[in-house]
Structure 1
Amino acid sequence: MQRKLEKATFAGGCFWCMVKPFDEMDGIHEVISGYTGGHTEHPSYEEVCSGTTGHYEAVQITYNPDWISYRRLLDIYWKQIDPTDAGGQFYDRGSSYRTAIFYHNEQQKKEAEQSKRELELSGRFKGEIVTPILPAKPFYPAEEEHQFYYKKHPTHYERYFIGSGRKSFIEKHWGRIE
């Protein structure tokens, strides 16, 4: 008997760079760019970027746990971010670009905490792992122009991915891009 689809929500800086690593994987049904963790209902991109809504740019992934585990999603997530940076990601600074794992149930919370502990103990990063693990809050999809940006604007996306420093950071710490 197949289990129902589940959701995973991750903030990793600019959401443009958080879609591609998860998109088109077996077991992933949908990846949506959006906003979560704040206090304003249905915020706009401009409102979130202003830093006044409390929201993070994030992706919400709908997945089939019979095909891909939450743990596998966490492993992919950690390889996309600088978990030691509390002020944003790469050259994107400010509260909307912070990292966070938003758990949807107690099992996700437990797995996220375990994966964070393992990353801390690995010694892969010099600084403290500051990515918080937080309960999921309402998720608001971003405007259409932000959905699947890497497919709609591949040249601009690639320039941004390289120019922001994300690509070189990932390669330095993980060896290759997943």
Structure 2
Amino acid sequence: MTEKKLEKATFAGGCFWCMVKPFKDWEGIHDVVSGYMGGHVENPTYEDVKRGDSGHLEVVEITYDPSLFNYNELLDLYWPQIDPTDADGQFQDRGHSYSTAIFYYTEVQKKAAELSKVKLEQSGRFSKPIVTVIRPAETFYRAEEYHQDYYLKEKTHYEEDRAKSGRDEFITENWK
């Protein structure tokens, strides 16, 4: 029997609590983990990242089976979760650690991400420029356990925070 080859994809889309659920329950997606990437501090804590002095972004690392759910499908799920025109954070979460980025692991991922960004820019969906950066993946640091699957563990708090963030209104207005 042949073992399935799993791949990784990492996306920054503001608060990682809001970025887990959209990717979670698809056939071919094996895991979605909240964490940090892109900074200069080893083993950053949530406090380091939130304070903004570690250089890291809040990210989700997705482990997937590309034969069941391919990278382009992940990109198609990613873009409608964010405001790709906001360079200073996402919705109520402000600052560098909440900015958007696509971290690629291979040249194939890089090219697919760049093409998807160009298509979004050319679509005319947004009047402002698309500022989401595409950059090489770096060391992924898993966030503290209480952040993992936060939308399930702290459902009431998650729903309250998401409701006041403005994310859902933006998605409805710009993506649906």
TM range (shorter): over 0.9
Q: Deviations over 1:43-80 (max 9, x none)?
A: 00001111111000000000000000100000100000
Shift of 1:96: 0.4
Q: Deviations over 1:120-173 (max 9, x none)?
A: 011111110000000000000000010000011112111111210000000101
Find the counterpart in structure 1 of residue 11 from structure 2: 10
Where do 4+ consecutive residues of structure 1 move more than 3 Å?
none
* Structure 1 Cα separation of the partners of residues 96 and 175 of structure 2: 26
Shift of 1:174: 1.4
* Structure 2 Cα separation of the partners of residues 156 and 124 of structure 1: 32
Is the contact made by 1:10 and 1:58 (CA closer than 8 Å) also made in structure 2? yes
* Structure 2 Cα separation of the partners of residues 174 and 67 of structure 1: 25
Find the counterpart in structure 1 of residue 146 from structure 2: 145
Q: Deviations over 1:92-128 (max 9, x none)?
A: 0011000000000000000000000000011111110
* Structure 2 Cα separation of the partners of residues 3 and 46 of structure 1: 37
Find the counterpart in structure 2 of residue 34 from structure 1: 35
Find the counterpart in structure 1 of residue 91 from structure 2: 90
Shift of 1:2: 6.1
Find the counterpart in structure 2 of residue 21 from structure 1: 22
Report the secondary structure of 1:72's partner residue.
Answer: helix
Count the aligned residue pairs.
175
Letter paired with 1:19: V
* Structure 2 Cα separation of the partners of residues 158 and 44 of structure 1: 24
Please, which runs of 5 or more residues in structure 2 have no aligned partner?
Answer: none
* Structure 1 Cα separation of the partners of residues 77 and 118 of structure 2: 16
Give identity over the alignment, percent: 62
The two structures, once aligned, show a CA RMSD in angstroms of 0.9
Report the secondary structure of 1:22's partner residue.
Answer: helix
Find the counterpart in structure 2 of residue 47 from structure 1: 48
Does residue 70 of the first structure (1) align with residue 71 of the second (2)?
yes
Please, which runs of 5 or more residues in structure 1 have no aligned partner?
Answer: none
Shift of 1:3: 4.8
Find the counterpart in structure 2 of residue 133 from structure 1: 134
Letter paired with 1:151: L
| Structure with the higher helix share, 1 or 2 | 2
Letter paired with 1:149: Y
Q: Deviations over 1:11-34 (max 9, x none)?
A: 000000000000011100000000
* Structure 1 Cα separation of the partners of residues 169 and 52 of structure 2: 27
Give the alignment's TM-score, normalised by structure 2. Answer: 0.97
Letter paired with 1:114: L
* Structure 2 Cα separation of the partners of residues 26 and 163 of structure 1: 31
Find the counterpart in structure 1 of residue 122 from structure 2: 121
Letter paired with 2:16: F
